[in-house]
Amino acid sequence: MRITGARVIVTSPGRNFVTLKVETDEGVHGIGDGTLNGRELAVASYLADHVVPMLEGRDPADIEDTWQLLYKGAYWRRGPVTMAAIAAVDMALWDIKGKVLGTPVHNLLGGRSRRGVLCYAHASGRTIEDTVEQVLRLREEGYRAIRAQCVVPGIDNMYGTPRGDVSGQRPDLPFVEDGWASEKYLRFAPELFARIREAVGFDVHLLHDAHHRLTPAEAGWLGRRLEDHQLFWLEDAVPAELQESFRVIRQHTTTPLAVGEVFNSLYDCHQLIREQLIDYIRASVVHAGGITHLRKIAHFAEPYHVRTGCHGAADLSPVSMAAALHFGLATHNAAIQEYGHHSEETLEVFPRAWSFADGYLHPGEAPGLGVDIDEGLAAKYEYQRGYLPVSRRVDGTVGSW
């Protein structure tokens, strides 16, 4: 069996997605996600201009060898663009292998470790009351784990919350600018979780994302004050380029720590894992080199009591979600999966076997990844240039969004 070609499909059903479709001489095809939010066309070009010519004529069964060829063969290593491109190929090859063998990808990864993959949904409010109400509604819908984010009084626009008044935003910029003031947030967040716990009690997991904006000392302070509210995790408390900064946080709190959605490889997190500085690694199947590399991260983490909680915001396509769920069903130390809901238009472009029931996601039993792309429909949604927001502190300096 040989790969005859591969095509990059860029579509924007509400937001941009980059999909690779790999075709073979036996008529079987596989698909993979290579979406990098805000920098999509860099991956599309990396794939079309540099990777696709290397795939033609190869046996799609040799997944590990193809991975090594694309990783080591480029000489230039790692980074989100490279690793998302490799991931797209990797997912497509696992998809093909499953289809050829007539079995779901999770069966190729060792079979089922659990009944379904625990997932968390997002509650995001402008006020504490609003956020509490959303948590209650999501619990009613069957979610057993819920991430809660709320606008902090005095910081009108910030990550993870509904946008407020943006009339003051500069019209000459293609991106929006959010604000930030750590001291306001630090006083507010413990109050938010106290009020949520009062309303829902302790029979639901609560999560929170600080989105890289604190210093280690601030994160330790916050983690300690959240301990009584028993969070499932505090995510991205500090930017993690400096892995040793998590030592400081660890010394001050036992609130479980999660990090890694912007990581691309095991080399970004080996110290965090080896020194047990975190509890959950959030690397995703698309931004960390596909199923092949994500498994290596998970296996490395297992003896250190670190479990996975893969990034799954809505800017990772339904193809990524399928791959993450096969990985999550099979991998023993996969703890939870983020479930950022896709728009109806997106779900129509990507017909899929995966589903949600009673707090758990399941990849389904279809051969391969169990997800496809409707190319006719995809062609109707043209690429739209888009940027992530930028965050500025009170004095105007750029911070981490």
Shorter beta-carbon distance to Mg ion: residue 33 or 209: 209
Indicate which residue of 29, 211, 293, 362 is catalytic.
Answer: 211
Name the segment binding Mg ion (CB under 5 A); options: 41-49, 87-95, 207-215, 297-305: 207-215
CA distance 329 to 327: 6
Touching Mg ion, residues 252-281 (CB under 5 A): none
Question: CB under 5 A: which stretch of 35-43, 48-56, 187-195, 203-211 binds Mg ion?
Answer: 203-211
209 binds Mg ion (CB under 5 A): yes
Is residue 159 part of the annotated active site? The answer reads: yes
Least separation in angstroms between residue 209's CB and Mg ion is 4
CA distance 113 to 360: 14
Contacts (Cβ under 8 Å, ≥6 apart) of 326: 94, 104, 105, 106, 109, 291, 363, 369
Mapping DSSP to helix (H, G, I), strand (E, B) and coil, where does residue 11 land?
Answer: strand
Closer residue to Mg ion in complex, CB, 178/209? 209
Q: Could you give the CA distance from residue 85 to residue 382 in angstroms, rounded to a whole number? A: 21
Tell me whether residue 209 or residue 279 sits nearer to ligand GCO (CB atom). Answer: 209
Give the length of the chain: 401
Q: How big, in percent rounded to 5, are the helix, strand and coil portions of the chain?
A: 40, 20, 40
Minimum distance between the CB of residue 187 and Mg ion, rounded to whole angstroms? 22
Q: Which is nearer to Mg ion, 92 or 334 (CB)?
A: 334
Cβ proximity of 43 and 36 under 8 Å: yes
Q: Which of 159, 185, 280, 360 does the annotation list as catalytic?
A: 159
Structure tokens at 388: 């992530």
Is 90 a binding residue for Mg ion by CB under 5 A? The answer is: no
Sheet containing 29-33: give its strands across: 3-11, 17-24, 29-33
- Residue 313 site contact among Mg ion, ligand GCO, none (CB < 5 to 8 Å, cut-off depends on kind): ligand GCO
Which of ligand GCO, Mg ion, none lies near 218, with the C-beta cut-off 5 to 8 A by kind?
none
Residue 222: CB minimum distance to ligand GCO, A: 17
Rank residues 40 and 338 by Cβ distance to Mg ion and give the closer one.
338
Other beta carbons less than 10 A from residue 340's beta carbon: 16
Q: Which residues bind ligand GCO (CB under 6 A)?
A: 37, 209, 211, 261, 311, 313, 315, 338, 340, 388
Q: How far is the CB of 209 from ligand GCO (least distance, A)?
A: 5
- Which residues does 394 contact at the CB level (< 8 Å), separation at least 6? 179, 180, 181
Query: Does the active-site annotation cover 143?
Result: no
Q: How far is the CB of 235 from ligand GCO (least distance, A)?
A: 6
Residue 106 tokens, joined: 């999770």
Partner whose binding site includes residue 33, from ligand GCO, Mg ion, none (CB under 5 to 8 Å by kind)? none
Contact (CB, 8 A) for 401 and 389? yes
Which residues are catalytically annotated? 159, 211
Q: Which residues bind Mg ion (CB under 5 A)?
A: 209
